[in-house]
C-alpha cells in the first residue's frame, strides 16, 4: 500500500504538518497513515492491574484522537486515511512499524511536547532520521503548510553520488513539469586544514580558488544539463562561504524556495559538507519544509545515471533550441 506516514503526539506542534502531509499524499495519489505511540507505564508503588487499566484508557483516547484527525484530513484531501496506535518506547515503536511495512514517505514535525512527556523534539526525530533509510519531510511549526502548485526546490550538492541520491526522492514526489530545481554547491573560501596537524603545510596552488569554483560550476552545469534533458526546469548556483548550512538557508530564503531537499551524508573528513551536523543545522534553521534522505553507503542517483553524458545532452539541447 502506497502511503505517507505521519507520527503524532497529540500536540498542536505535531499536528502542524498535517496539511503538508495531506497535500503531498494527494499529489502522489497515496494513502495517509496517522500513528501515535502509547508508551509503557511502570511505577513501583502502583499495582500492575491499575497500570494496565490506565494504559488501556489512554489507548482508547489515542484512537479517538487519531480518528478525529483522520476525519478532518479525509474532508480536506482526496486520500484515504488510516490510523494505528503503537505500543512501546516512542522511537523504537515507530522504527519497528516502518521496518515492518515501509511507507513511501514520513512527514513529521521537528518539535512536540516540552518537558519529560515530550515526544517529537530533536532527539526522537534525529534517531529516526539516522536509523531509517526511507525519505522524510520534516518541518517546524509555523513553516509552510501546503506547497504551491509549482514549488521551487533547493537541492544542495557536494559533487558526490551520495548527495545526488536525494534527486530520486524529489522526482518520486514531484513531477518534473510541476517543480523547479535549484542546485547549490557551497565552496569554502580556502582550503580547510586541520588545526595543529603534525604535517607541513602544502604548497598553495596558484589560482586555487578560481580552479575550485570553475570545477564546481562545471559539475553543476553537467548535472543541470542531464536534468534539463528529461524535462526539469533547473537553476544552479555556486556559493563561496565558510558555513555551508548558513549558505544553503540564505539561498533558500533569497530565492523564495518552498522546499529544501538534501542527503544527510557527503564528503568525509575535514572537507565534509553534508554530513549529519550540517544537515541538522539546515533542518533546524529552515523556514520551509525539508525533504531528507539518509542513503546507504553505495547510494547514487538512478535519475542521473540513466541519462546520457553531458556532451550528448548539450547537443540535444542545442538542437532543440535551434528548432524552436
Averages of pLDDT over runs of 10 residues in the chain (324 residues) are 89 90 93 92 66 74 95 94 93 94 92 46 72 90 83 94 92 93 91 53 64 93 95 96 94 97 63 57 90 84 80 45 41
pLDDT in tens, 148-172: 999 999 999 988 888 999 999 999 9
Domain residues of the chain, as ranges?
3-139, 152-323
DSSP secondary structure string for all residues of 112-177: ---GGG--SSHHHHHHHHHH--S-EEEE-TTS--SPPSS-EEEEE--SSHHHHTHHHHHHHHS-GG
Predicted pLDDT at 1 = 62
Mean pLDDT of the chain: 82
β 180-187/105-109 pair status: unpaired
Provide the terminal-to-terminal Cα distance of the chain, rounded to the nearest Å.
43
pLDDT in tens, 50-60: 666 667 778 89
CATH architecture of 152-323: 3-Layer(aba) Sandwich (3.40)
pLDDT in tens, 179-202: 999 999 999 886 555 555 555 545
Question: Which pTM does this prediction carry?
Answer: 0.83
At the topology level, CATH places domain 3-139 in: Rossmann fold (3.40.50)
Amino acid at each position: 500500500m502506497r502511503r505517507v506516514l505521519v507520527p503524532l503526539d497529540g500536540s498542536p506542534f505535531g499536528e502542524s504538518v498535517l496539511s503538508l502531509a495531506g497535500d503531498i499524499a494527494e499529489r502522489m495519489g497515496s494513502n495517509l497513515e496517522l500513528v501515535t505511540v502509547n508508551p509503557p507505564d511502570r511505577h513501583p508503588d502502583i499495582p500492575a492491574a491499575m497500570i494496565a487499566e490506565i494504559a488501556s484508557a489512554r489507548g482508547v483516547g489515542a484512537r479517538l484522537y487519531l480518528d478525529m484527525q483522520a476525519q478532518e484530513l479525509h474532508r480536506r484531501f482526496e486520500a484515504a486515511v488510516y490510523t494505528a496506535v503503537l505500543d512501546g518506547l516512542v522511537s523504537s515503536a515507530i522504527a519497528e512499524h516502518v521496518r515492518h511495512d515501509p511507507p513511501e514517505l514520513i512527514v513529521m514535525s521537528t518539535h512536540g511536547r516540552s518537558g519529560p512527556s515530550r515526544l517529537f523534539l530533536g532527539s526522537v526525530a534525529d534517531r529516526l532520521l539516522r536509523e531509517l533509510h526511507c525519505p522524510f519531510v520534516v518541518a517546524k511549526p509555523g513553516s509552510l503548510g501546503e506547497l504551491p502548485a509549482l514549488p521551487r526546490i533547493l537541492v544542495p550538492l557536494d559533487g558526490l553520488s551520495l548527495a545526488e541520491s536525494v534527486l530520486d526522492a524529489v522526482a518520486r514526489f514531484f513531477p518534473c513539469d510541476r517543480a523547479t530545481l535549484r542546485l547549490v554547491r557551497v565552496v569554502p573560501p580556502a582550503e580547510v586544514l586541520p588545526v595543529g596537524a603534525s604535517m607541513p603545510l602544502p604548497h598553495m596552488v596558484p589560482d586555487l580558488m578560481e580552479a575550485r569554483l570553475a570545477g564546481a560550476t562545471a559539475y553543476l552545469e553537467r548535472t543541470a544539463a542531464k536534468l534539463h534533458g528529461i524535462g526539469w526546469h533547473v537553476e544552479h548556483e555556486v556559493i563561496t562561504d565558510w558555513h555551508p548550512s548558513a549558505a544553503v538557508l540564505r539561498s533558500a530564503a533569497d530565492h523564495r524556495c518552498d522546499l529544501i531537499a538534501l542527503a544527510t551524508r557527503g564528503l568525509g573528513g575535514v572537507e565534509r559538507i553534508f554530513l549529519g551536523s550540517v544537515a541538522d543545522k539546515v533542518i533546524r534553521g529552515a523556514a520551509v519544509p525539508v525533504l531528507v534522505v539518509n542513503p546507504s553507503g553505495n547510494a547514487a542517483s538512478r535519475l542521473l545515471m540513466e541519462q546520457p553524458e553531458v556532451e550528448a545532452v548539450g547537443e540535444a539541447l542545442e538542437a532543440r533550441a535551434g528548432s524552436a
